[in-house]
Amino acid sequence: MICALDLRYEGGLHPREDDFNLTPLAPIHRRYLREQAFVSLREAIVSGSLAPGATLVIDDLAATFGLSTMPVREAVKRLVADGLVEELPRRAHRVASLTRRTALDVLEVMEALMVHAYELGVPALDADDVGAMRAAFDRAAAHAAAGELIEALACIHAMHGVVYAATGNSEFERALSSIGPRFDRVLYLWYTESILEVGRSYRHDLVVALERGDRDEAIEIMRRAWRRFHDIVAERDDEDRP
């Protein structure tokens, strides 16, 4: 099963199986034009295929996709709202820059939300929930081993999504959905090994702790993982290539 990431995020962090049947910047079937243009552009930005600072020319993108300019323009407008694209004078656009400061700002908010969601959600998990997390983790590891990092990232989201749902507070998913695209880009570009090596990452230890019933340890594993991620980003130079 493929955990394709719902890059729209408006519907939450749960995966959809049909969102990533497209290669970034490949021609798009005319059905679902607006949505597919948005998803493809977003994937290209998150994965770095469109690098931070890259100029986005609507006409060129439309020609690449085989679309008119209108659905591409609307997709770019949504990406501006998501914080992944910057609007410049004279209707120009570029991929949003990524600096150590902007990355740390994203991490600060994402950490606060995720850790608190785990503090609330983990005590409410039942055996089926833990089983769902294990299944999502195993799929993530399989995708990562195959070099399918976007799909692996989607399954990682699915794993965490079980905990968000267990909080019983839908505002967690709404808040995480808002910042999720920017967080994904930091993770994908600046901590790629966390996705590549998901099978040996903190996520493995977290699931194992839950399977043996050590919920306090699972929450502490999440806290330690965030401290490490923060330290890795804090040590970067802004001049580093994303």
Give residue-wise pLDDT tens across range 115-171: 999 999 999 999 999 999 999 999 999 999 999 999 999 999 999 999 999 999 999
Residue 67 pLDDT? 85
Instruction: Name the phi and psi angles at 9, rounded to 5.
Output: 65, -20
Q: At what angle do helices 100-121 and 149-166 cross, to 10 degrees?
A: 40
pLDDT at 84 over 70: yes
Report which secondary-structure segment, H or E, holds 112.
Answer: helix 100-121
Give residue-wise pLDDT tens across range 35-59: 888 989 999 999 999 999 999 999 9
- Cα(78)–Cα(34) distance, integer angstroms: 10
pLDDT tier for residue 28 given thresholds of 50, 70 and 90: low
What would you measure as the largest C-alpha separation in the chain, in angstroms?
58
pLDDT at 228 over 60: yes
97 near 52, Cβ under 8 Å?
A: yes
Give residue-wise pLDDT tens across range 202-225: 999 999 999 999 999 999 999 999
Q: Among candidates 119, 115, 113, which has minimal Cα distance to 224?
A: 115
CB atoms within 10 A of CB 165: 21
- Cα(55)–Cα(94) distance, integer angstroms: 4
The tokens describing 87, both together, are 């609007």
| CATH number for the segment(s) 100-234 | 1.20.120.530
Distance of CA 172 to the CA centre of its chain: 15
Domain borders along the chain are: 100-234
Helix (H, G, I), strand (E, B) or coil at 123: helix
